[in-house]
A and B are shown apart, each in its own frame.
Chain A
């Protein structure tokens, strides 16, 4: 009954989406406000029905109704409640349902909070949103229906993939999807602007908060996923340049570029055509990511052929939306008036440079991700493009970008003074040189690249801070006045400082972890001691225990430093009986922002156990950086100017024009 209700609600949502994708456009053609307002009600109703459908699937999973294929294949009655819930999106069908739920959520939010949008713009935006939604409802209903029943219901389910039985699954996919799908709003706004043939600074003001929300979630989602992979997979790696990861990195790069170009458009009414293109690209890359991950094309192009309907269907959606929006762009973009002249050396120029490097970096990731697929289709050769490729392409492109980051905020709009900006960055430059010298002296004879990279990171961080100091007149005016000014500074300026500093902090973490990471691999028997980076880890013993749906072998290590007992660490190996598979649960010990990391291998016949121990210096900074960036985004979002619903352009714009 519940499954059928969920299925039915999804069909109703599709019907509503179809209405929403046509009537408002006709309304705008005929200048019929009532028809245009249909979009608002349907978007909210659609959200309600999808929510019902999603709730139905959660209920089925929680109540372990194994007469539903999706529940049977991915759940088990003994599974802890939290994983019964998160298991809903731990599989193809459920995660697609989450995808459309979030799409409907964003549509509903625009409908609810978009009261100040011009009526026809809102109608168009929601209609475009409904096109995307209709396509994906059809996809779910035709190829990936999570509500299908089994004729002879089994008694027990096949359990969720053990790797996914982790709290990471509760947080990472929803966040990532909020980011991915959030870009659909900027996409819809861009397509709506193209259809209407009208775009102004106010448009950027409406789009920016939505883009910012999507970007914040995507940033956190990627960072979370990276940390999850780091502790769950037991390799101690945090980024593998795996196509699945690249699929989330590409929209992030395009989205970051979009955030910056929206600033130019909002402040200076320039770069309109480019901004529209970026909005389209950011969401296209999200769709591409969905295709890459969901079609199975990544494991092999042949896997694609084993279940062709899904892959072909998403490919079709991909072609229609990317092809359609880009054609519309080619057709209508010239109609958009260009505005706002600026010199190459200016704030706008710096932001253009930022966009250039981000999109080029994004393009190299795209090439690296798709090239193996293309080659396999064309020549049949199987190749793998791994970390070396991306280090050689992505790295060199990010380097100049990082050098440019501190200059941007210090340049004036329209025409900047590069020399002046450089003078104000002398402090940051000196700090960077000191950092290079210190690190180099400290690690004499080591890598020469690492101290330079750390110097660059320090330059970015101190550069961001000196921009702040410059703005509030620190050291020039009395401290009280400076603090007062700091309080009065727009939140978006604070956002810039935090986000840019976050980039530098992440870079320090990345460089330190990759350069000075130390590793111990060996087989140990109880009472053996491993020494790594000044720590002594003694294997106290091995015991086994029984979890809710697995058996566990736990090794206990006591960690000493200078003979003093610090803590015990208990890495384990879990054996999940239902699927007959094993997972490695690494143990982590955090010291400051560095970590000790132990993962277990096999037990040999003589009772020795294979062990990998890592010491990862400053590794946590890799994820603190993105958290700081997201914090910067949130600060920026809370800026009065950008508050959703703040801009009142239709009137004030007219007022301005009258005054001119």
Chain B
């Protein structure tokens, strides 16, 4: 083989691998990414039953009902709409009525959001960032949601500490499955 042929072999091989990688990425993008919605957005967009998404909002006070064998139901609301959620399993440490929550799952035909994961991905302000942003965007944000522990110097402290050193586990990182 000449130098040129060798070089072409290597370049061809590289392109082939890169093409495979790109194809894999595009394929995975189509199937395995999950969108974030609030109850109001779910109502507006008429999300199909069975389509997975992340639901974020506030746990409606007084709506938490514990059933047999760790089954729970609660309402997630964003001030304009609310959606019933059913879940079976252990709720995260930071799960509270009246506080923010993010659940992952899909709607069933009767319109109940069947969650297989309840995320506690937030800091001690009890407000997931995604939920806070969505509420702010819809003009439904109330200052007391974030005010819980902002007695100190900066409101950012909590998330700063929970992000701590790089790669360190964060508060509630991960999911209840």
- Contacting chain B: which of A155-163, A472-480, A618-626? A155-163
Q: Contact at A161–B6, with CB atoms within 8 Å? A: no
- Asked whether B175 is an interface residue with its Cβ less than 8 Å from the other chain, the reply is yes
State in angstroms the CA–CA spacing of A573 and B90 once bound together: 14
A98 vs B165: C-alpha distance in the bound complex, in angstroms?
Answer: 10
- Chain A positions within 8 Å of B166 at CB level: 95, 173, 176-177, 180, 244, 247-248, 289-290, 293-294
In the assembled complex, which residues on chain B have CB atoms less than 8 Å from the CB atom of A233? 169, 172-174
Q: Which residue of A lies closest to B130 (CB)?
A: A382
Q: Which B118-177 residues sit within 8 Å CB-CB of chain A?
A: 124, 129-130, 133-134, 152-153, 155-177
Tell me which residues across on chain A come within 8 A of B66, comparing CB atoms. 604
Q: Which residues of chain B are near A232, meaning CB under 8 Å?
A: 169
Decide: A158 near B152, CB < 8 A? Known: A392-B27, A523-B70.
Answer: yes
- The A-contacting residues of B in range 80-111, CB under 8 angstroms, are 89-91, 93-94
Q: Among B3, B14, B161, B167, which residue has its beta carbon within 8 angstroms of that of A161?
A: B161
Q: Is the CB of B152 within 8 A of A344?
A: no
Are B93's CB and A173's CB within 8 A? no
**Are A303's CB and B159's CB within 8 A?**
yes
Nearest chain B CB to A88's CB is how many angstroms away?
A: 10
Given contacts A228-B168, A343-B1, contact A302 B133 (CB under 8 A): yes
Given contacts A384-B54, A392-B32, A583-B93, contact A353 B13 (CB under 8 A): yes
Contact in complex: B36, A172 (CB < 8 Å): no
- Contact B153 A89, beta carbon cutoff 8 Å: no
- Docked-complex contact A382 and B161, CB < 8 angstroms: no
**Chain B residues closer than 8 Å to A169, beta-carbon distance:** 164-165, 168
Q: List which A159-197 residues lie within 8 A (CB) of chain B.
A: 160-161, 163-164, 168-169, 172-173, 176-177, 180
**Considering the chains assembled together, what is the distance between the CA atoms of A294 and B175 in angstroms?**
23
Which residues in chain A, 108-140, are within 8 Å of chain B measured between CB atoms?
none
A449 within 8 Å of B (CB atoms): no
Name, among B152, B165, B167, B168, the residue most crowded by chain A CB atoms within 10 Å (CB to CB).
B167
For B70, the chain A residues whose CB sits under 8 A away are 521-523, 601, 610
Q: How far is the CA of A389 from the CA of B33 in the complex (A)?
A: 7
Interface residues on A, range: 35 or more
The listed residue (A299, A396, A523) touching B24 by CB distance below 8 A is: A396
A356 x B24 contact (CB < 8 A):
no
Bound-state Cα–Cα, A95 to B91, Å: 32
Q: How far is the CA of A343 from the CA of B155 in the complex (A)?
A: 60
Is A247 in contact with B124, judged by CB distance below 8 angstroms? no
Chain A residues lying within 8 Å of B130, measured Cβ to Cβ, are: 300, 382
| Cβ–Cβ contact A296 & B163, under 8 A | yes
Q: Is the CB of B28 within 8 A of A356?
A: no
Q: Are A73 and B153 in contact (CB under 8 A)?
A: yes
B interface size (C-beta, 8 A): 61
Q: Which of A203-262 contact B (CB under 8 A)?
A: 221-222, 225, 228-229, 232-233, 235, 237, 240, 242, 244-245, 247-248
**Interface SS of A by simple majority:** helix
CB < 8 Å neighbour of B33 from A306, A349, A361, A384: A384
Q: How far is the CA of A579 from the CA of B90 in the complex (A)?
A: 23
Known: A232-B169, A303-B129, A384-B36. A367 touches B175 (CB 8 A): no
Q: Does B17 contact A (CB under 8 A)?
A: yes
Of the residues A247, A341, A392, A579, contact of B6 by C-beta under 8 Å: A341
Q: Does A612 contact B (CB under 8 A)?
A: yes
Question: Is A515 engaged at the interface, CB distance under 8 Å to the other chain?
Answer: no
In the complex, the answer to whether B93 meets A240 with C-beta atoms within 8 Å is no
* Cα(A237)–Cα(B166), bound, Å: 18
| B44 part of interface (Cβ distance < 8 Å) | no
Which residues on B sit within 8 Å (CB–CB) of A381?
35-36
Q: Is the CB of B164 within 8 A of A393?
A: no
**Cα–Cα distance between A248 and B20 once the two chains are bound (Å):** 24
- Distance (whole angstroms) from the CB of B161 to the closest CB of chain A: 4
Q: A392 contacts B31, CB within 8 Å?
A: yes
Please state if B133 and A300 are interface contacts (CB–CB under 8 Å). Answer: yes
- A164 to chain B: which residues have CB within 8 Å? 161, 164-165, 168
The answer to whether B18 has its CB under 8 Å from any CB of chain A is yes
Question: Given A160-B161, A580-B124, is A393 in contact with B24 using a C-beta cutoff of 8 Å?
Answer: yes
Contact of A344 among B13, B36, B89, B170 (CB under 8 A): B13
CA A97 to CA B165, docked complex, whole Å: 11
Could you list 9 further interchain pairs (A-B, Cβ under 8 angstroms) beyond the known A299-B129, A364-B21?
A90-B161, A92-B164, A95-B164, A158-B157, A233-B169, A242-B174, A293-B163, A299-B163, A303-B159
Q: Which residues of B contact A (CB under 8 A)?
A: 1, 3, 6, 9-10, 13-14, 17-18, 20-21, 24-25, 27-29, 31-36, 54, 66, 69-70, 89-91, 93-94, 124, 129-130, 133-134, 152-153, 155-177
Give 11 A-B contacts (CB < 8 Å), ordered by A residue: A90-B168, A161-B162, A163-B170, A169-B165, A235-B175, A244-B166, A247-B167, A381-B35, A388-B32, A521-B70, A610-B90
5 closest cross-chain pairs (CB), A and B = A173-B165, A388-B32, A382-B36, A601-B90, A392-B28
Interfacial residues, chain A to chain B (CB-CB below 8 A): 69, 72-74, 89-92, 95, 98, 150, 158, 160-161, 163-164, 168-169, 172-173, 176-177, 180, 221-222, 225, 228-229, 232-233, 235, 237, 240, 242, 244-245, 247-248, 289-290, 293-294, 296, 298-300, 302-303, 306-307, 341-344, 349, 352-353, 356-357, 360-361, 363-364, 367-368, 371-372, 381-386, 388-390, 392-393, 396-397, 521-523, 573, 579-584, 601-602, 604, 610, 612
